[in-house]
């Protein structure tokens, strides 16, 4: 069968069951990443080996056995490379070394070797859109004259107006404030401006420059030579800007990371700009999703092809509609792209079913599996987000003064049910550290403890992402819940005082715990080959129920307000998994069950 790789491939009408045709488009390749469960480690918040309050690579190594027991196939590490840490490591000063905060290259090699011993693959975060202003490339650019080759590595521009005092255009930073910062010449006079989509400490690279492209091929090879299994590519849709850098004012309800309008009345709305119902391309901001990025990733694909094994590139690309996002994973580009349309879907059965259908179809048209994700280091944890009573913009976070704060009981029930749906879907699933413990967003962080640039650049109008980045708890009864050594008294972000019951050790072996739910779901997913199965919808359960079959497993999720009768009164052996206890032949609200087909 010929796979359509053109940008014009279109989705079916929303809600049309397409699995019986789309599943055949996914392909039959045996690459591990097609069905993998990948666990995101946020290094500074995972495990602290030396007691300085910040997680590190030796800490990760010490906890890999726990991830093996959980049942994941791979880990993705958020940035650990040399950085001044103005944006938690997403401002890289040296792409080929480890920041002393996290350890050394030798520590990385030991961690990688231990992961591979346990059968866990390792994906590292790569940040190609921008560097730190401490990077030697940028320091050389500042020291070089205007118009020099060194300046051409970045997006330097002359200002407007008689004295160049006006910014080159009107673009606004994702973190708030202008997207331009003016330089000062050696003689003290004002100089050119440089572009920074994010913080001013993160100048954007000029990806039209072949020198930049060649350096990143070298960086890819550096880590591939060490044995990494792939790369998660930060802001993969941002590298190329529209020629001429025209003025652009995004819609008031547009998401900071791209896309169009919010998803209607969705309770989530957390990535306005990702619309689960979108079928046409919305207006494209001149700094997002330009066609030229695809040539870059074809070059990266060729570099990975130089190495044995199934290496993977995964795009963080906030792009809609799904047919447009699928262009990132055409056969000669990346292998995966995060499905933010799925993450952004509201707690609604019709909406969720439409997103699942459209995801399988859109990615299938280019021979790629869909990915599924519910939480990460940039969004409100789904144990809180799914119970929010107000829209929450991506990156805005929530805090004590936010509207529509979540009911924690409702949030956890929905999170468990949502996870049980996600882990049954064909394709690859991503888990964010701590979600297997049912961790909620930390809402009551003191203002003095917040560190996200969004908090500072918006003068406290947006709380930012610190609430989902609080270090995770391993054991009860210590000041840092086992995050650090027994002598540790604090962590880089303060942990809540009521997390003893959420600690991993407290949940281990407790049948009703969220940890054991994840372990059972991952084991069943593997045993029943759900990641490589074909999905078919089951009808007759009502509008607020999702019911489907993958292989030998039937999945029924009740997203409505009233219990739903199950097809037959399930015998004990028929129930493989239930996100909440079943007491009779009815499925409670906000509950998912897996049954033998």
Residues assigned a catalytic role: 234, 306
Residue by residue, DSSP assigns 397-435 as ---TT-SSPPPHHHHHHHHHHHHHHHTTSSSEEEEETTG
C-alpha distances out from residue 313 to 103, 163, 211, 335, Å: 25, 44, 21, 5
Rounded CA separation 251/285 (Å): 10
First CA to last CA distance, the chain:
30
Q: State the sign of the Cα–Cα–Cα–Cα dihedral 285, 286, 288, 294.
A: positive
Task: Give the up-direction half-sphere exposure of residue 176: CA atoms within 13 A in the CB hemisphere.
Answer: 16
Rounded CA separation 82/413 (Å): 40
Q: How many CB atoms lie within 10 A of CB 281?
A: 15
Cis peptide bond N-terminal to 321, omega within 30: yes
Rounded CA separation 250/171 (Å): 9
Note the Cα 538 to chain centre separation in Å.
30
Rounded CA separation 44/483 (Å): 10
**Helix residue ranges per DSSP H, 246-316:** 293-305
SS (H, E, C) 489-535: CCCCCCCCCCCHHHCHHHHCCCCCCHHHHHHHHHHHHHHCCHHHCCE
State the Rg of the chain over Cα.
23
Show the tokens assigned to 552.
């030998």
Rounded CA separation 108/307 (Å): 20
Show the tokens assigned to 367.
């021979």
Strands 575-578 and 591-596: antiparallel
Q: Taking a C-beta distance cutoff of 8 angstroms, is the pair 393, 403 a contact?
A: no
Q: Taking a C-beta distance cutoff of 8 angstroms, is the pair 322, 363 a contact?
A: yes
Q: Taking a C-beta distance cutoff of 8 angstroms, is the pair 80, 31 a contact?
A: no
Q: Return the SS3 of 548.
A: strand
Q: Taking a C-beta distance cutoff of 8 angstroms, is the pair 454, 397 a contact?
A: yes
Q: Taking a C-beta distance cutoff of 8 angstroms, is the pair 452, 470 a contact?
A: no
């Amino acid at each position: 069968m010929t796979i359509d790789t053109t940008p014009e491939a279109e989705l079916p009408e929303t809600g049309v069951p397409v699995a019986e045709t789309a599943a055949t488009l996914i392909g039959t390749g045996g690459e591990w990443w097609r069905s993998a469960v990948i666990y995101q480690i946020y290094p500074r918040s995972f495990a602290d080996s030396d007691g300085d309050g910040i997680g590190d690579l030796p800490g990760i190594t010490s906890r890999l056995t726990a991830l093996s027991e959980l049942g994941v196939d791979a880990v993705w590490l958020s940035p650990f490379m040399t950085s001044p840490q103005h944006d938690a490591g997403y401002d890289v000063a040296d792409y080929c070394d480890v920041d002393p905060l996290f350890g050394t290259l030798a520590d990385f090699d030991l961690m990688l070797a231990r992961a591979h011993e346990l059968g866990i693959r390792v994906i590292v975060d790569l940040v190609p859109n921008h560097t730190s202003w401490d990077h030697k490339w940028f320091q050389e650019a500042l020291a070089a004259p205007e118009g020099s080759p060194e300046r051409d590595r970045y997006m330097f521009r002359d200002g407007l107006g008689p004295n160049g005092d006006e910014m080159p255009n009107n673009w606004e930073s994702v973190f708030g404030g202008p997207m331009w910062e003016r330089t000062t010449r050696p003689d003290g006079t004002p100089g050119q401006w440089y572009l920074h989509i994010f913080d001013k400490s993160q100048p954007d690279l000029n990806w039209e420059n072949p020198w930049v492209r060649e350096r990143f091929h070298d960086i890819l090879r550096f880590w591939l030579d060490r044995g990494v299994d792939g790369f998660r590519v930060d802001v993969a849709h941002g590298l190329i800007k529209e020629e001429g850098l025209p003025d652009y004012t995004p819609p008031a309800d547009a998401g900071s990371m791209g896309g169009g309008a919010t998803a209607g009345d969705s309770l989530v709305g957390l990535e306005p700009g990702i619309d689960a119902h979108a079928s046409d391309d919305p207006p494209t901001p001149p700094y997002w999703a330009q066609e030229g990025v695809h040539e870059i990733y074809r070059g990266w694909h060729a570099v990975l092809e130089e190495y044995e094994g199934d290496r993977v590139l995964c795009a963080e690309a906030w792009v809609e509609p799904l047919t447009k996002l699928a262009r990132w994973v055409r056969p000669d580009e990346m292998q995966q792209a995060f499905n933010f349309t799925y993450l952004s879907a509201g707690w609604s059965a019709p909406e969720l079913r439409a997103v699942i259908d459209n995801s399988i179809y859109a990615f299938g048209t280019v021979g790629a599996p869909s990915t599924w994700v519910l939480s990460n280091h940039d969004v409100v944890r789904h144990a809180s987000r799914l119970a929010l009573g107000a829209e929450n913009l991506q990156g805005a976070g929530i805090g004590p003064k936010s509207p529509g704060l979540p009911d924690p009981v409702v949030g956890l029930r929905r999170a468990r049910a949502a996870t049980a749906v996600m882990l049954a879907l064909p394709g690859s699933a991503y888990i964010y550290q701590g979600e297997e413990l049912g961790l909620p967003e930390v809402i009551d962080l003191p203002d003095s403890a917040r560190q996200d640039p969004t908090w500072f650049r918006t003068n406290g109008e947006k709380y930012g992402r610190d609430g989902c980045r609080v270090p995770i708890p391993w054991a009860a009864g210590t000041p840092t819940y086992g995050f650090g050594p027994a002598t540790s008294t604090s962590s880089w972000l303060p942990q809540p005082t009521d997390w003893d019951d959420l600690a991993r050790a407290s949940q281990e072996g407790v049948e009703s715990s969220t940890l054991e739910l994840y372990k059972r779901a991952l084991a069943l997913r593997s045993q029943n080959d759900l990641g490589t199965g074909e999905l078919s919808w089951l009808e007759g359960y009502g509008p607020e129920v999702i019911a489907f079959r993958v292989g030998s497993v039937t999945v029924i999720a009740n997203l409505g307000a009233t219990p739903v009768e199950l097809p037959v009164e399930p015998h004990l052996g028929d129930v493989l998994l239930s996100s909440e206890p079943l007491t009779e032949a009815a499925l409670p609200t906000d509950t998912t069950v897996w049954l033998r087909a």
